[in-house]
Structure 1
Amino acid sequence: MTRFARITGTGSSLPPQRLSNADMVELLARRGVETSDQWIVERTGIRARHFAAEGVFASDLAADACRQAMSAADVAPGDIDLIIVATSTPDMVFPSTAAILQHKLGIAGCPVFDVQAVCSGFIYALTVADALIRTGSAHKALVVGAEVFSRILDFNDRTTCVLFGDGAGAVVLEASETPGILSTDIHADGKHTGILCVPGHVSGGHVLGDPLLKMDGQAVFKLAVGVLEDTARAVLDKAGKTSADIDWLIPHQANIRIMQSTAKKLKLSMDRVVVTVDEHGNTSAASIPLALDHAVRGGQVKKGDTLLLEGVGGGFTWGAVLLDL
């Protein structure tokens, strides 16, 4: 029997603290940094984001999202035999956030690990989980994107700090006799490391370098629109599909202009694109599963729909997954 992998449940978690653009304007003004709601919305489409409270970690948000996903899939913690967490803001240097999450969910014994591909992390994690299920190494997996990017933002830099938010999204991926994930495509090019990075590290009990996020927005935009079109066409070609077969495009929620450009290149109207960047901001590896869960629970995305998920992030990394829900 040929094995496939299907998403059987989705879940998400957002911290209670919601910061509107007006809240960000006020926060930055106290630091002597000027910005405005109009400036943020025109350049990004973002109107609000959520920040985690002190003492709340990526694993906490991930645990909430996973419990929702497991409930939706009607699986118990003991049924899970693989956990992959995509994150750039782990709880600790080690062990993995996945190991901490595993314990919080009351699961033991199955393999767990983190994937670090920044905003493409969920695409990478879903690709790996799909491969492990297809080979019989796993049967029911939790695939999670979880971030607390508010911890690594430079609030003296209005070009970056207004963009990001915290959150988590999760899916249960199960072995199936019928295709769910139809094709995947992942890439990276390390020569672009410098345009989006957090150039700090821990050594001898001290943080060396700069532990806050740095981004060349124009360079990121230019690179993103090209690779997102390429990877979208790659997964469609692998599956023998065209853009006309896509019911919903669920892209990484980084910037509304990037999303609009990708949709235009694929000849998709924006009413077939799931958009949550306005309320969530850029939640990095969490953005795609957050948007997916939002669309499923809101009734936009339905069982049987064909979805194109795609993301691009620091590294530079990029990729896409085509699936039938």
Structure 2
Amino acid sequence: MVVERVELEIGDRVVKISNPDRIYFSARGETKLDLAQYYLSVSDGIVNALHHRPCMLHRFPDGVDGDKVHQKRVPHGAPPWLQTVRVDFPSGRHAYELCVDHPADVIWAVQMSTVEFHPWNSRSEHVEQPDEWRIDLDPGPEATYADVQRVAGVTREVLAELGATGFPKTSGSKGIHIYVRVAPVYGFADVRRAAWAFAREVERRADGLVDLTWWRKDRNPASVFVDYNQNARDHTVACAYSVRGTPEGIVSAPVRWDEIDQADPRDFTIATMPARYAELGDLHADLDDTIYSLDQLLQWAERDERDAEPPPAADAPAT
């Protein structure tokens, strides 16, 4: 029998899931309802990752083997309890984006066929002042995951010398993301400059594994790009616990530093993560307790700008 709709009670809210039996992940056959149940199993973690951040939704109305829709605006007819935040764009246009503060908000987005959640690195209370510095280790087409793991080790070393606490996660693809909480007192340009200075220091120590050449076509394809531009305004990455749009339902999974050398990103899926989360809880739960000042990195940026070309503007063509 075809089930047309199910209702999920989530705290004091109810979300109706239409077409719950629609296959979203072809590798094992998980459905839209399975996706909702996955997000409920990691609800504290996904809400923590998204809390009060403007969020772009990556929707797959026909499952992940179909077309992907990038959606910034919350449509008319959303539940009255759903919160949004206004963000403005250089074009003069604006959007009211999803602003999560309850697990039901996440499940509402799943009902809208959302698989991936891509939040800003700032919050609704201070949209123009990021509170999250994001380190994105992005391998080139000929780089291996072992190369990324080695660069992660260098990254950890530099963070330790700075006195910064980094919280790593798999990207859900071939990369690793590391988040550092900062006070929301800097603009996007300063956070990006600090991230560039940090990336240059990692490049110096990485024995040729890192190439910060801006244009992808000119970059060593066997290198890792430490993508400081992910800290530019309106740039987003999949958040911790977000499922990625892959047939296997791979998850962008928080990991401990001591797991990175052995962890395989393909091990973290909507099938395996609920048990892992039940055992370990949210590995990013303490992020807000480890605020780091970017002042030293901004001093490094001033030094490097005297010795080298500064990075291209954040609105330069995408790498």
User: Using CA pairs below 8 Å that are at least 6 residues apart, which structure has the higher relative contact order?
Assistant: 1
| Fold equivalence (TM over 0.5) | no
- Bigger helix fraction: 1
Question: Quick check: which has more Rg, 1 or 2?
Answer: 2
TM-score by length of structure 1 reads 0.27
